[in-house]
A and B are shown apart, each in its own frame.
Chain A
Amino acid sequence: MKTANCKNPHTNPTSIKTRFALRFLRAINNLNNNNNSTTPPLNSHSAAADKRKRCRAIRAAAYASMASAVGPNKAWSRAVLRKIRNRMKETIKKSTRAGTATVRESNPRNELSFGQENELRELVPGGEAMDFCRLLNETGHYIQCLRAQVQVMRKILHYSST
């Protein structure tokens, strides 16, 4: 990979936005194709349920596309991809799978309150199995990617509604 005069594609926000946009749009198209093949809803109740399901599917597609655009370099993207893979395996196998055991490293000398730190761990995917220092790193990158995700989704919405 010629990176002599280019930024690293994994950290360059422009390239991440592009990769995310590409994957996300592709995923939405796949969803649309799958939905078009099924029969349209008959009553309003199922329509609402379908809409909710669709919303969840799009949200999952957004996170999955972002995680795959970022790649396996970051712990949080790895955690997201792992979760998706597990979920896919669950639906394929249709068997209950025990939750992945996450090792919570204890920091007895941490002077910050545990409540906040735990909250942050819950927010950032894969945050349970990290020490606080690494958690802050991952949080920074996660925030950048979330921002890029929101910007791209807004643009898509804007262009598709005009």
Chain B
Amino acid sequence: MLRFAQSSANHMDLSVLERQRAQLQRLYQQQQQSWHDQENDCFDLHSVVSNSNDSSRSKAVVPKPDHQQCNSSLPRKRKAEFDVEEDGKEKGVVAEEEKSEITMKTERENSSNTCSKVSEVQKPDYIHVRARRGQATDSHSLAERARREKISKKMKCLQDLVPGCYKVTGKAGMLDEIINYVQSLQKQVEFLSMKLAAINPRLDFSIDNFFAKEIPAYIASLPAAQFEAANSTCLQYSPMQPGPSNCSVDIAMDRSQMLPPRPGTSSLPIPEAFLDSSCISQLQQLSGWESDWPSSLFNAGFH
């Protein structure tokens, strides 16, 4: 670096940009020579870098066979730095070049000194990001850009969830909508629980009645193809012995809206029609967890 200082002192009249460019070119040529000699050495700039692991470092060093137009041993970071310099932008990339796990694929025009394309590294644990023309290619901004894209993708998903969010475009506006929606949902829960608290002391809650009333609604919502099957089979339930259930079974015969049992050959229990005919195994799992659920369901006044 001392040499650079000396040479830069000689070119005091040059502009800053030209000086930087000269430095970079010198550096590049120097490193090119050193690369020929020692393949696995870390050059000066890399010494500034904090390398996370040695293996990844050596990956960057290994020459790629696809490099036809340029020196095969040129690392991508170096190229990025050079390309940035080619753009004529003054960025502070000379000294700081941090080792990142992001491989960059930059597209630049052909020039005598630089290559146009860098082939992508086929490493499974790398995030492949394309740096667009005219944008910064250092690892920080690339990571930042990847993060921003991830966030905007998630915001789009949230936009579908929250009703009325499609009008808002900005991130801040959408966040406001999301916050309002969550708050309104929580307030609804509170309001409903207040109402439930008000009515509940009067009647003893029965789970079976709830599910019983739910079944006609669910059956109606099933597609027509399944409806026939559900109709013919769902009402034949195997009599289960009343197991110990910790829910109070309120056998309200007058309020029972269960369809009368019909003789059927299938043994599909009611909950299957209740849930979905495609979720049979799910139900089996569920009845494995909650052993008293089938019994409580079948207990509802069907005697």
What is the interface of chain A, defined by CB distance below 8 A to chain B?
A: 1-7, 9, 12, 14-15, 18-19, 21-22, 25-26, 28-33, 35, 51, 54-55, 57-59, 62-63, 109, 112-113, 116-117, 119-120, 123-124, 132-133, 136-137, 139-140, 142-144, 146-147, 149-150, 153-157, 159-161
B254 to chain A, nearest CB (A): 13
Mask of B219-247 contacts with A, CB within 8 angstroms, 1/0 = 00000000000000000000000000011
* Chain B residues within 8 Å of A109, by CB: 144
How many Å lie between the Cα of A106 and that of B288 in the bound state?
Answer: 44
B236 to chain A, nearest CB (A): 21
**Closest A-chain residue to B196, C-beta based?**
A58
Known A-B contacts A26-B247, A29-B207, A133-B154; A123 and B183 likewise in contact (beta carbons under 8 Å): yes
* Chain A residues within 8 Å of B204, by CB: 29, 32
* Chain B residues within 8 Å of A154, by CB: 192
* Chain A residues within 8 Å of B198, by CB: 51
How many Å lie between the Cα of A25 and that of B205 in the bound state?
Answer: 7
Query: Is B151 a contact partner of A157 (Cβ separation < 8 A)?
Result: no
Determine chain A's interface SS by DSSP, over half rule.
Answer: helix
* Chain A residues within 8 Å of B189, by CB: 59, 62-63, 146, 149-150, 153
A25 to chain B, nearest CB (A): 5
Known A-B contacts A6-B281, A119-B179, A147-B185; A14 and B154 likewise in contact (beta carbons under 8 Å): no
* Chain B residues within 8 Å of A22, by CB: 207, 290, 293
How many Å lie between the Cα of A160 and that of B278 in the bound state?
Answer: 29
